Amino acid sequence: MDVAVVGGGVIGLAAAWRARQRGLEVAVLERAADLGTGASRAAAGMLAPVAEADLQERALLTANLESARRWPAFAAELADVTGIDVGYRACGTLLVARDRDEAEHVERERDARERLGLRVERMLGSAARRIEPALAPSLRLAIELPDDHAVEPLRVVAALAEACSRAGVRILPGVEVTDLDALPAERVVIAAGAWSGALGDVPVRPVKGQSLRLRDPSGPGLCDHVLRFEGGYLVPRGDGRYYLGATVEERGFDEAITALGVYELLREASEILPGILELEIEEALTGFRPGTPDNAPVIGADPRDERIVWATGHYRNGILLCPVTADLVAAALTGEASEHAGLRPDRFVPTAAPEAATP
Ligand SMILES: Cc1cc2nc3c(=O)[nH]c(=O)nc-3n(C[C@H](O)[C@H](O)[C@H](O)COP(=O)(O)OP(=O)(O)OC[C@H]3O[C@@H](n4cnc5c(N)ncnc54)[C@H](O)[C@@H]3O)c2cc1C
């Protein structure tokens, strides 16, 4: 093999596909019996490139914005190659506030987007109810983000897996990699999500998220936009299914779904959209976001070992960042020039110390 990709989530699969398209012989090694059972399965699928909290991280913001722009073409290419629709919905997002504190936060989010030249519309709660009539009458303020859309992560995994196998990527499920040196491959891509830290020096930690898949037995229509609010978000799939997420917990690899976690998600969401309490619960989920110290992903060749390419640490934006990450990994593997230097691993992994001069 030219390339062994460790991890069969969205990042590993997308990177493998793009590497194969450049003519490399690629295998994906996934320890689970199925692909995409890690964070990729648990994700909401929002394509939300700007969060006020991350504005200090220019490298992340630039990559997020570029990846959001690329998603329509990426989705179309996947559909073309595989026949699988990844559920890209140009639904837009409403960011809503219940009280004065939340309204201040929403105003800051609006300012951040305006400074970046992005489209954003401020409206009172009453105006928000005209476009989403099921919103609670008590809402104070909202901003509409007409360019923040969503995809369905489960379908993205399915489409990427199909694209990989059609392109001739070898998919090896049930293979846990413990020793990178033992892999019979020229290069190794570490795309093991929240578990990547066990395979080298890049500091990746799991950030637990609990969420719910909900279904409206009476069909679609409760809301059409993605709704974001303090404490969570609701992503409509357009067919009566909804994703309600997500807690953010520093609890290691604790998989428990807790009464408190689920209660808080439903309580917050029902204050925004009371009708949510009529929905059926299809599934409660836990996932582990691959977090890094600066919340930005780590993509590129290891400065101490050129054989290793990192593609991890995508934290809350791994679905969004799929298109850009895949190309950056492929570029690192083929030696092509690429942008986004600020995402490289050398910010965490020091370059090799120069050899001491021999007297
Ligand atoms: C609740 C929640 C909501 C989210 N919402 C969004 C969202 O709306 N938008 C967005 O862009 N992102 C979102 N994310 C983030 C996104 O899910 C992740 O950033 C992304 O899925 C990371 O993909 P990955 O392929 O790196 O990791 P994963 O999907 O976790 O895949 C890693 C894979 O590596 C495998 N593996 C690990 N170790 C080994 C080993 N040693 N050998 C072989 N295989 C191994 C694992 O089994 C796993 O399948 C969310 C995450 C969570 C948890």
Q: Which atom of ligand 1 is nearest to the CA of 314?
A: 19
Instruction: Please report, as a single letter, which amino acid is at residue 164.
Output: C
Ligand 1 atom nearest 246 alpha carbon:
1
DSSP 249: B
Nearest alpha carbon to residue 326 among 152, 78, 59, 30: 78
pTM of the model: 0.96
Residue 265 in contact with ligand 1 by CB distance below 6 A = no
For residue 192 and ligand 1, the question of a CB distance below 6 A is answered with yes
329 Cβ neighbours under 8 A, 6+ residues apart: 15, 18, 19, 189, 191, 299, 309, 311
Distance 344 CA to ligand 1 centre (A): 19
Residue 49 beta carbon below 6 angstroms from any ligand 1 atom: no
- CA torsion through residues 180, 19, 161, 63, sign: positive
- Residue 285: per-residue pLDDT: 97
Q: What is the β-pairing status of strands 93-97 and 226-229?
A: parallel
Distance 294 CA to ligand 1 centre (A): 17
- Span from the CA of 176 to the centroid of ligand 1 (angstroms): 16
Q: Which of 95, 130, 76, 91 is nearest to 220 (CA)?
A: 91
pLDDT tens, residue order, the chain (359 aa):
999 999 999 999 999 999 999 999 999 999 999 999 999 999 999 999 998 777 778 899 999 999 999 999 999 999 999 999 999 999 999 999 999 999 999 999 999 999 999 999 999 999 999 999 999 999 999 999 999 999 999 999 999 999 999 999 999 999 999 999 999 999 999 999 999 999 999 999 999 999 999 999 999 999 999 999 999 999 999 999 999 999 999 999 999 999 999 999 999 999 999 999 999 999 999 999 999 999 999 999 999 999 999 999 999 999 999 999 999 999 999 999 888 999 999 999 877 655 555 55
Residue nearest to atom 33 of ligand 1 (CA): 7
Which helix (H) or strand (E) segment holds residue 285: the answer is strand 280-291
Counting Cα atoms < 13 Å in the Cβ hemisphere of 16 gives 37
**Which class for 263: exposed (0-12), middle (13-18), buried (19 or more C-beta within 10 A)?**
exposed
Distance CA 241, CA 65 (A): 27
**35 class by beta-carbon count within 10 Å (0-12 exposed, 13-18 middle, 19+ buried):** buried
DSSP-based three-state secondary structure for 208? strand
Alpha helices in the chain (DSSP H): 10-21, 39-42, 58-82, 100-115, 125-131, 153-167, 259-272, 322-334
Residue from 25, 308, 297, 332 nearest 190 by CA: 308
**Gap from CA of 41 to ligand 1 centroid (Å):** 7
Query: Cβ distance 165 to 173 under 8 Å?
Result: no
